[in-house]
Amino acid sequence: MVRFSISVVAFPLCVLSACAASVDDETDTLSAAEDVEPTASPLTESCWPGTVSGMKVHYCHNRSNAAVLNSAERGAPVVDRLKTNPSWFVCRLERGPHGGGGPHPNRWLYTQGDAVNPQHEHKYGWVADTDVASETNSVERCEEIL
């Protein structure tokens, strides 16, 4: 596992492999049956800058209950969910397709989940760009802040 830090906040970043901190025996994966319309019109506004505990992030409008996956790969296990809207994102990564199409079919965003579920303990992971209604070009590239 690679340690990633911005300012004084450190958290795991799993760019090319699965996070070691995934939920034990978690079989929850993102499927087409879970698709829900985003709460904001797609691409109506760009993500906007902010900070979380001194860490530079971007806030974006997102789908309610969006899956946070343990790696930036289609079908990866779900380690948490995004309950809040908007949510904050640390960076973006162009990787393999997530299967959702849209303007950025290979884009993933790194964040921390916020589900209130004992099995999902606010774990860091990847969200498919199609689960984000805001335009994500303003979110920093992960490669630029590593």
Tens digit of pLDDT for each residue in 88-139?
A: 999 999 987 777 778 899 999 999 999 766 665 789 999 999 999 999 999 9
Give the tokens for residue 89.
């994102």
Are residues 102 and 132 in contact, defined by beta-carbon separation less than 8 angstroms? no
Residue with tokens 């774990």: 123
pLDDT at 38 > cutoff 50: no
Residue 43's pLDDT band, with cuts at 50, 70 and 90, is low
Give bridge partners of residue 60 from the DSSP assignment: 87
pLDDT given at position 116: 65
Q: Kindly tell me the burial class for residue 67, based on how many C-beta atoms sit within 10 Å of its own C-beta (0-12, 13-18, 19 or more).
A: buried
Give the tokens for residue 143.
């490669």
Closest CA to 11 of 110, 136, 95: 110
Tens digit of pLDDT for each residue in 60-94?
A: 999 999 999 999 998 999 999 999 999 999 999 99
Cα Rg of the chain (Å, integer): 14
- Three-state DSSP class for residue 75: coil
131 φ, ψ (degrees, to nearest 5):
-85, 0
Compare 26 and 112 and report the one with higher pLDDT.
112
CA 85 centroid distance within chain: 13
Task: Respond yes or no on whether the N-terminal peptide bond of residue 42 is cis (omega within 30° of 0).
Answer: no
